[in-house]
Amino acid sequence: MSENNQNRIKDLVNEETIQLKNGDNKLGNRKTMEVDTNKRPTFNENGRHVVNNEFKGNRGIHAKKSIVSESRSDLVESSGITSILDNMDIMELCSKYYVVLKQSLFLNFLYLVITILLLLVCLQGVFSDEEWPQNGIPWASILSGTSVLLIPCILLLHAKILHTLMGLRLLALWAAIVLIVSISILTWIPIYGGIALQIPNQLISIFLLVLSLYTCLPLPPVGSVIIGILLSSVHLSILILSTMNANTYDYKTITSNGILLVCANLVGRYYQYMESISRKDTFEQTKTCVESRVRLECEKEHQEQLLLSVIPAYIAAEV
């Protein structure tokens, strides 16, 4: 084979290799163009953008996942708030608040009653006549005995032994019995002693006692109503019987005393009703404030968890 033929064969081989390389490059460019056309936005005949179905499906899936995650987080947050509120036991806090209020009022009332009783004993000794040591002993002994019987209630309240609602009501019942007995005796016996009963012109002391049963003593509402009605009816009936036996019947005095005692019961019951409404409103406002405070704390904690899940750990540690 001559040199010319060999050179010609080499040229043909080189041309074929060049053509093969050019063909591969064209195929690669065509594939990339196909991929790019799939990624690029497509437009319809009117020039509007047509969203790829695959992209649209992926976007819907991501949206559904985000909605589900948000709903789950809301459920977790609401369940956390309810569990916190259940653990707080707001009704127990309300009962404790009621006990504290009634305890302070009851304690101040006992101090006031004992002070008045001791002051009456001193005034009786100062403004009495020469026969006071003989005739004034019953009245002074009743006043002093009432003070002595009420002092244990003050000591128990200060010692915080009976600081429950039931314990407070037991102390109030004891104080009510002592006051009813002592004031009833003082109303119907003479100031300086004596055998005969004294017919009072008015029942102011019973009026004040009935009001104190409703307002100052922490008795149950039904119990205070029953005790107040019984106390008023008993003293009014005794007044009627005593005036009829003494032939000094005065219907004006009896009617005025009856109206006075009825007004005492009505005013006391109205006070209890308004106090219960006020206490309920205060409880609802306090409950709303506590719930909003707990909800705010849960939202802050949730936001902190989201922030810590997004930012890196070293940045979160610095923050």
The verdict on 102 and 188 lying in the same domain is yes
What's the CA gap between 81 and 75, in Å, rounded? Answer: 10
- What phi-psi label fits residue 128: left (phi over 0), alpha (psi between -120 and 50 degrees) or beta? beta
Which one of 198, 225, 241 terminates a domain?
Answer: 198
What's the pLDDT tens digit per position in 60-116? 444 444 444 444 444 444 555 555 555 556 667 777 778 888 888 999 999 999 999
Cα–Cα–Cα angle for 314, 316, 318, nearest 5°? 70
Residue 133 resides in a domain: yes
Give the least confident one: 1-10, 140-149, 270-279: 1-10
What's the pLDDT tens digit per position in 228-255? 999 999 988 888 888 777 676 678 888 8
pLDDT at 64: 42
pLDDT at 284: 81
What's the pLDDT tens digit per position in 39-68? 444 545 555 544 444 444 444 444 444 444
The verdict on 139 and 222 lying in the same domain is no
The verdict on 103 and 186 lying in the same domain is yes
Most distant CA atoms of the chain, gap in Å? 173
The verdict on 178 and 138 lying in the same domain is yes
Q: Are 74 and 298 in contact (CB under 8 A)?
A: no
More confident residue, 251 or 170: 170
The verdict on 206 and 179 lying in the same domain is no
Give the residue-averaged pLDDT of 144-160.
89
**Cα 110 to Cα 141, 154, 185, distances in angstroms:** 18, 7, 19
What's the CA gap between 109 and 31, in Å, rounded? Answer: 98
Which one of 198, 214, 233 terminates a domain?
Answer: 198
Q: Is the pTM of this model over 0.85?
A: no
Residue 267 resides in a domain: yes
Residue 258 resides in a domain: yes
Which one of 198, 215, 249 terminates a domain?
Answer: 198
The verdict on 211 and 165 lying in the same domain is no
More confident residue, 299 or 222: 222
What's the pLDDT tens digit per position in 110-138? 999 999 988 988 887 776 665 555 566 77
What's the CA gap between 126 and 63, in Å, rounded? Answer: 92
Number of structural domains, the chain? 2
Residue 249 resides in a domain: yes
Residue 58 resides in a domain: no
Give the residue-averaged pLDDT of 296-314.
78
Q: Are 207 and 261 in contact (CB under 8 A)?
A: yes
Domain span at residue 280 reads 202-287
Residue 151 resides in a domain: yes
The verdict on 213 and 269 lying in the same domain is yes
pLDDT at 262: 93
Q: 279 falls in which pLDDT band (50, 70, 90)?
A: confident
The verdict on 188 and 237 lying in the same domain is no
pLDDT at 92: 72
What's the CA gap between 254 and 250, in Å, rounded? Answer: 7
More confident residue, 59 or 195: 195
Contacts of the segment 233-237: beta carbons below 8 A, 24+ positions apart: 235/184, 235/187, 235/203, 235/206, 235/261, 236/203, 236/261
Residue 86 resides in a domain: no
Q: Dihedral of the CA atoms 23, 27, 33, 34 (nearest 10)?
A: 150
| The two three-digit tokens of residue 95, written as one number | 């009962």
The verdict on 180 and 263 lying in the same domain is no
The verdict on 249 and 164 lying in the same domain is no
Residue 187 has pLDDT above 90, yes or no: no
Q: 193 falls in which pLDDT band (50, 70, 90)?
A: low
Q: Dihedral of the CA atoms 41, 42, 43, 49 (nearest 10)?
A: -40
The verdict on 177 and 105 lying in the same domain is yes
Residue 313 resides in a domain: no
